[in-house]
Structures are given as structure tokens and as C-alpha cells.
Structure 1
Amino acid sequence: MSVLPPARPAATAAQPAPALKPAGGRRFAAGRTILALILREMSTRYGRTPGGYIWSIFEPLAAILFLSVGFSLVMRSPSLGTSFLLFYATGYMPFHLYQSLAGSIAAAIRFSRPLLQYPAVTWLDSVIARFLLNSLTGILVTILLLAGIIAVVDAHTTLNMPPIIEALGMAMLLGAGVGTVNCAISGLFPIWEVIWSILTRPLFIASGIFFLYDTMPPLAQDVLWYNPLIHIVGRMRSGFYPTYTASYVEPIFVLSVSLILLAVGLLLLGRYHRDILNL
């Protein structure tokens, strides 16, 4: 008697579908890309300069010292407290944090243009990397400078941390909003970078670094109130001077302006980033 071989499975049997890669893998890949961009910028910006990160501390310190010495020659005491160094530092540092973020994010695509030709690197990765690096650097420099000034001048300051954290957060968000909009506009129209630098030069004077908003004439207050940096500087100083309330500060106004600019900037970059890369 012959034994029949076992029947083979039908040729038309459906093959199992290949397993899909989990979304977490893509998220981890984006994280690695952002970290690589941060390390690349750190080595490019600070690794090739003698002193490296030390210059990021000396630059704002030199500006604060210059302001303090200059105004101490014509004024007996600052508008708040007894230390010119602390008064100008509490105004200059949030402004410097905003300015560094806005400027670095505005150049994100131009700086990472060669890497953006690779599919694994996106324009959003470049923006996020610059935001994280400059935010962490700015906060670290602010902490070191203000702590050093308080220790040296013995200003007997009672710190109120929530307003300080709020001011730094608003400066970071405003810098991100302005930076993304300028990244898109200057990418499409390179002349905008020059125009913007000319238009915003008065901000150094009009942001409350040298004076208190409360001491300005009513007409100047009506105009300056619409400068978000006035609110940020006022909130920052209220965290160092317990007697200063800065009642004019409206965080909702600053957050609204920042979020609107950030949304517009991200929409423009999402729509035109390929055109910017091809220019």
C-alpha cells in the first residue's frame, strides 16, 4: 500500500502582513537628530573660539558693567534698590535671553541648510535644537550672573522665584515666536534681516532696561505698554524687589502675542521651507 504525502497548504493562502514600525521609533529618531544638531552647534559656536562658553558669560557681564559704571557717574542711586549692577542686570538679562533666542532661531534654516538635504533632518528639528540650546545657555548665564552680583554687592535681596521663572519663560516664548516668523520671512526675502535689525534697534532703550515704566510720562506709557519686553522686564524685577509690584504687567498679552507669532511662523515655515532651501 502506498502512503500519500501530506497535503501542502494552498498557494493562495494569505501571507501575514509585515509588522509596522512603532511610532516611538520615529520619535526617538527625531530626538537623536535634535541632540546631534545641538552638539554640532555647540562645537561650531563655542568649540572653535578660545574660551568657549566663557564668552557667553563675559558678553552680558561687560554690558551690565558698562551700564552700571556709566549711569553711576550721573545718578546717585538706581530707580530701585541701591545697586546699579543688580538693577541693570534684572533688566538686561531677560532682554538678552529674548534677543539671543530670536536671532538664533531666525538663522536656523540657514545654519543647518546642508543637513536639511537629508530626509532624516527636518526644519522643525533645526528650530527645536536652536531653541533648546540657546534657552539652556541663556538661563544658565542668567543664574550665574545674577547669583554672582547678589553675592558681590550684598544687596540684601529677597528673591521671589515665581515671577522670575515667569519672566524667563515669557522671554523664551517671545523669542521663539519672533525667531520663527523672521526665519520664514528672511528666508524668502533676505533683505528683511537688515530691515528688522534697523527697526528693532530702539528696543534696547524702549524695553525698560534703563528706567521703570511707572516713572514715564502717561503718553510714553500708553505707547510702551504694547512692547511685550516691558512686561517681561517688569515681571523680572518684581521677583528681586519685594516693594515693586509692576501692576501694569499683563502676562496674557505677552503670551497671546508670542503664541500668535509662533503659530504664524510655524505655518509659514511648514508651507515655504522647501522654497527657502531652494533659494
Structure 2
Amino acid sequence: MKDAVDVLSEVHSLVQAGAYDDAVSVATGFIERNGNSAAVLRARSGAFASAGKLAQARGDAACCLELEPDNLEYAVHCASLAVAAGQAQEAVRLLENRNCNKHNTGDGSAERVLSGAWAATGEFRRALHYAELALDRQPHHQEFRAHHDGLQQHMERQIRIARRSTKVAAPAARSPVSALRLQGRVLYALVLREIAGQYERSRLGYLWAIIEPIVHLMVLGLFFSLLNHATAPLGHNLYLFYLTGLLPFFMIIHTGSKVMHGLSANRSLLLLPPIKVLDILVARGVLSLLTELLVAVLILGIFNLLGITAIPQDSLLTLGALLLAWLFGISIGIFMAMLSELFESWEMIWSQITRVMYFCSGIFYVAEKMPPQIRAVLIWNPILQCIELLRAGFYSGFAPPWLQPGYVLLGALVLLTAGGLLLNLFARHIGAEE
């Protein structure tokens, strides 16, 4: 019976000869007889990758890393497959905290893969940094040298293009109308690009945006029914009451999250002179607004088809509440986009904030029925203000005295101002990498 060393040698020889299926069969036979072996799984992953079977290759690579989580070579292999699959951020997460710094030794392969991952995300300065580290490890490695020089030439070329564009555009000052028209075309193109990026490559696409609030409605309804609290605090239908809380909540949270990630996902677009940081963020916000409004119309339509009257008493007030929620959401998103550029851990902090807000924003209760001491704190929450404003438009006779749309608007303006100040103060760090 062959041992692992013989099997690895045979698999390697078969891969070298282009017999990928045979190599996979040999490795699979050994695993079936002897159980998982990290080294053999790594060899089979390489055979799968050579055969173009990326999903199987990534599965074996993940198993390798589970068996030997401290093995840098397995992490490098996982990361390189992630880059090949178009998931560069996953490759960054795998490698950035694993010995990729100037004080560690190695053959430079980790730094090389990390450089490619950052380049794939448009972070060319960071990509060049890790390319230099890889070249320091192996100064005579031809592929490392070619990759480093290619990045350097790309950055120099983009700088020349940007300077040339600036010089050409400077003498001809645009009129306000033409500048506004250009800005409109830029936003329109960015929104179309975001639609293609966020939905066309996804199997569920817009469907998930509809499924998520419906799942929330089902879970909340079943939960409170089991607790014998099935009577709606407002109106006659428990699920419709929850929906009026979820729509503004998702408008704020989804918009904020999508805008926050806009810069990291589209940084390479900043190489184009007409496109600015705020263009990218606003485009994401506009797409979120269109998505959430479409979802609201579709779900309310479904309710009416099911015989549940879901028509607001004051349509303008209901729409105004959703638009106010969107304005607050995009303001949060712009502010957080700046913070996430300055503090890498901010995204984790935001995820915890959203969990707290889920329970503190009046989705499944009304502030009026809370104890006075608790209510006095809750009404300062802008998300709760948006939710109760929408319910004031939806339910006849519901008009809490503490509703202050101006307070939410002021909060949005403060966040926008703070985001703009951070952008101006840290433009070199936040703006285009090139």
C-alpha cells in the first residue's frame, strides 16, 4: 500500500503530465483509505485547480487550512484560489495577519498573493507595498519582479493621465448647467454599474431584498404569537404593524451599510478624473432608495392581494417618512464610509450598533406603551422617529406628540457635515490610492 509520500509524488507527476483527473483519482483513493491528510488534500486541490475545477479546489484548500490552521503555505494556496474566484477581499482576510510584514522570513509567496489581492480591489498602493516585500524576499525572482514593475508602471501611467486631464480641463471652465449635466451622467452611469455589480451576478438578485423583510415578518409574528401577544399595538393586523416598522428600519440600515462599503468596493473608479468619492457613495445611496421603495410597493401589494388592507391613510406622509429615513441612512453611510477608511475595525462596531438598534427602534412596539423613563430615552433615537412618523401616515389617529422630523433632518445634516469634513481633512488617505 502506498504511503502519503508516494501518493504525493505520483499526484505531482500526473499533474505535471497534464493528467489531472488521474491525479484527483489517486489522491481521492488515498483519502478514502486513510482519512483526510492535509498534504494529500493540498495536492488534490492543486490538481482540481489545474483542471479548472475551482469550487472543488477551494473546498479541499479550506479543509487543509482547517486541519493545519497555522500552515502559511496552505493559507497562501487558499488565498490564491480566492483571488482566482474573484473574492480578493477574502484573500486579504486570510493573509494580511499571517506573517506578511517586514520582520518575517519566507519565500515571498504570501506577499505576492496579497499584492495581487489588493490590486484586484483597486488598492494599488497597498499592492505595490506587498510586491516590494515579496521582491525583498527573492530579489531575483522573475515573476515577482515583473509583477512589481507592472504595478509601478500602472501607477505612473494613471498619474500621468490624471495630470494631463487636469491640465486640459483647467482652461475651460464649465457653466453650472453643463457641470450639473455632467454630474447627472456620472451618477446615472454609476447607478447602472452598481445594479450590474450587486444584482446581475447574484442568483437571487432583487428577490433577496423582498425575501428578507418577509422572513422577518414571519419570525416576529410567530414569536409573539407563541408568547400570546398576537394583538397588534396599532391597527388590526400584527404582520402589517411589523412591516411598518421594518420598512423604515431597512431603509436606514441597508442604505447606511451599502454606502459605507461603496468606497472600498469601487476605489479603482477614482482613477477616472470626473468621478469623486461622493459620486460613488451617492450612487450607492440612490440604488438603495430605488430598491427599498420597490420592495415596499411589492410587499404592500402582496398584502392587499392576500386580503390584508395595506393602504396608508396619508400617502404623502408615509412617503415623506421613507424619504427622511433614506436621507438619514445615506448620511450615516457617508459618515461611516469615512470612519471605515480611518479605522479598520469600524465595520464590526457598526454591526453591533445595528443589532442594538433593532431592539431600540420600535419595530415591534410603540414608544407610547413603554414606561415613561424608557420612552424618554427611546424618543431620541432617529430611527424610532422615522418608524413612528411612517406609522402616523399609515394609521389614522396615531400622532405621538414627540414626533420631530426636524430633529431627524438636523441629525442627517450633522452627519453629512461631519463626513464632508473628514473627507477634506483626510483626502489623501481616503481618496484615490494613485
TM-score range, shorter chain: 0.7 to 0.9
- The one-letter code matched in structure 2 to 1:124 is L
Alpha carbons of structure 1 residues 19 and 92: separation in structure 2 relative to 1, 3 Å: closer
Aligned to 2:250, the other structure's residue is in SS state helix
Q: CA deviation at 1:110?
A: 0.9
- 2:338 corresponds to which of 181, 184, 187: 184
Tell me, yes or no, if the aligned pair for 1:123 and 1:273 is still in contact at 8 Å. Answer: no
Alpha carbons of structure 1 residues 19 and 40: separation in structure 2 relative to 1, 3 Å: closer
Tell me, yes or no, if the aligned pair for 2:303 and 2:310 is still in contact at 8 Å. Answer: no
Correspondence for 2:412: 258
Correspondence for 1:5: none
- 1:65 corresponds to which of 195, 218, 223: 218
Correspondence for 1:139: 293
- Cα distance in 2 between the residues matched to 1:99 and 1:90: 15
Aligned length: 262
Correspondence for 1:101: 255
Tell me, yes or no, if the aligned pair for 2:245 and 2:387 is still in contact at 8 Å. Answer: yes
Q: TM-score, normalised by structure 1?
A: 0.87
Q: Bigger radius of gyration, 1 or 2?
A: 2
Alpha carbons of structure 1 residues 44 and 226: separation in structure 2 relative to 1, 3 Å: same
Q: CA deviation at 1:30?
A: 2.3
Deviates more, 1:206-215 or 1:264-273: 264-273
- Cα distance in 2 between the residues matched to 1:162 and 1:30: 29
- Cα distance in 2 between the residues matched to 1:66 and 1:104: 24
Which structure ranks higher in relative contact order (CA pairs < 8 Å, sequence separation ≥ 6)? 1
- Cα distance in 2 between the residues matched to 1:109 and 1:154: 41
1:203-246, Cα deviation, whole Å (9 max, x unpaired): 00100001110000011011111101111111111122103222
1:70-113, Cα deviation, whole Å (9 max, x unpaired): 22222231111221110000000110011111111111211110
- 1:216 corresponds to which of 370, 373, 378: 370
- The one-letter code matched in structure 2 to 1:86 is L
- The one-letter code matched in structure 2 to 1:64 is L
Correspondence for 2:182: 29
Tell me, yes or no, if the aligned pair for 2:221 and 2:230 is still in contact at 8 Å. Answer: no
1:53-92 equivalent positions in 2, closer than 5 A: 53-74=206-227, 75-92=229-246
Gaps of at least 5 residues in structure 1 are: 1-17
Alpha carbons of structure 1 residues 163 and 246: separation in structure 2 relative to 1, 3 Å: farther
- Cα distance in 1 between the residues matched to 2:197 and 2:258: 13
Correspondence for 1:41: 194
Q: CA deviation at 1:186?
A: 0.8
Deviates more, 1:252-261 or 1:149-158: 149-158
Q: TM-score, normalised by structure 2?
A: 0.57
Q: CA deviation at 1:150?
A: 3.5
- Cα distance in 1 between the residues matched to 2:398 and 2:174: 56
Correspondence for 1:51: 204
Alpha carbons of structure 1 residues 185 and 138: separation in structure 2 relative to 1, 3 Å: same
Tell me, yes or no, if the aligned pair for 1:238 and 1:245 is still in contact at 8 Å. Answer: yes
Decide which structure has greater helix share. Answer: 2
Q: CA deviation at 1:157?
A: 5.2
- 2:320 corresponds to which of 151, 166, 172: 166
Deviates more, 1:67-76 or 1:35-44: 67-76
- Cα distance in 1 between the residues matched to 2:312 and 2:352: 38
- The one-letter code matched in structure 1 to 2:285 is F
Aligned to 2:267, the other structure's residue is in SS state coil
Alpha carbons of structure 1 residues 156 and 113: separation in structure 2 relative to 1, 3 Å: closer
Tell me, yes or no, if the aligned pair for 1:83 and 1:153 is still in contact at 8 Å. Answer: no
Alpha carbons of structure 1 residues 117 and 157: separation in structure 2 relative to 1, 3 Å: closer
- The one-letter code matched in structure 1 to 2:295 is V
Aligned to 2:233, the other structure's residue is in SS state coil
- Cα distance in 1 between the residues matched to 2:195 and 2:230: 42
Tell me, yes or no, if the aligned pair for 1:157 and 1:241 is still in contact at 8 Å. Answer: no
Tell me, yes or no, if the aligned pair for 1:34 and 1:129 is still in contact at 8 Å. Answer: yes
Alpha carbons of structure 1 residues 158 and 166: separation in structure 2 relative to 1, 3 Å: closer
1:245-265, Cα deviation, whole Å (9 max, x unpaired): 222211111111111111111
- The one-letter code matched in structure 1 to 2:351 is S
Aligned to 1:200, the other structure's residue is in SS state helix
Correspondence for 1:242: 396
Tell me if 1:276 matches 2:433: no
- Cα distance in 1 between the residues matched to 2:311 and 2:352: 37
Alpha carbons of structure 1 residues 105 and 158: separation in structure 2 relative to 1, 3 Å: closer
